[in-house]
Amino acid sequence: MKLLRVIAVLTVVAFFTGCATNSLTGRRQLTLVSETQAISASAQAYSEMMSSFAVDNQLNNDMATVKRVRDITSRLVAQAVQLEPRSADWDWAVQVLDVPDQANAFCMAGGKMAIYTGLIDQLNATDDEIAAVMGHEIAHALLAHSVEKMSMSMVTNLGVQALGTAFEDKPLVLSGTEMAAAVAITLPNSRTAEAEADIVGLEIAARAGYNPSAAITLWQKMNALNGNGPLEFLSTHPAPATRIQGIEANLPTMMPLYQASRGQRLPTWPVN
């Protein structure tokens, strides 16, 4: 019990000394890592990850697929920048990863994105469904959820070190921020963070001219595909049925945004 109190105290101290209020949600978030640090670490981790995929010949070279993904993300990013102007300074980038057996996607702090061919091909994803996925992942970056997860990882490691010290064992060495950034995209978000990303992601997609109701068919397809074996993407997200209920509740607000975007010349944003 004494050891648990040590961890609890560390967590409480970290929360009150390293928190910031998110400008989009008004929620206080743990920020032991600054967004500047998270963006720098993510850029380094992303570069190393993409180099590894390149060595394994897993960077997709199909120009039609790459163009399709970049066209979609450039419209999404343009709306993301309007929603959160600070992201205009990010070096937005997207890669299509040629991994047919993985239905996955992510967006790191600072706008470093990737989508796996398994998600596109196994789901036979429409443009609207790809926009739903990428809008959701972009929302995580806008909402500083990577910063939050990296910070929580630091708290957890501090707790593990406290346990090791109490047992007179060798404390674990904290991972570098680059490792934390890479690990952050594999860790599950809290239910609160997922709900936030769903709402903001729907808004981004709708304003970019993509039908937000496609988020429902996306998760239905995900659920069906998951019946053939656990999906990596679903391992870091709530159950599709739970997600669909939340999406349906927000569609009445999002559909007018989508309708207003139709027939408009929508802006794009450079995405490398």
Q: Sign of torsion, CA 219 117 153 165?
A: positive
137 in active site: yes
The Cα 105–Cα 102 span in angstroms is 9
Residue 215 neighbours by CB under 8 Å, 6+ apart: 129, 132, 136, 198, 201, 202, 205, 247
20 beta partners: 29
Q: How far apart are the first and last CA of the chain?
A: 51
Residue 170 neighbours by CB under 8 Å, 6+ apart: 164
Task: With CA atoms as reference, report the closest residue to 41 among 182, 239, 138.
Answer: 182
Q: Which position among 84, 129, 137, 203 bears the catalytic label?
A: 137
Q: HEC string of 131-152?
A: HHHHHHHHHHHHCCHHHHHHHH
Residue 192 neighbours by CB under 8 Å, 6+ apart: 27
> Which residues form the catalytic set?
137
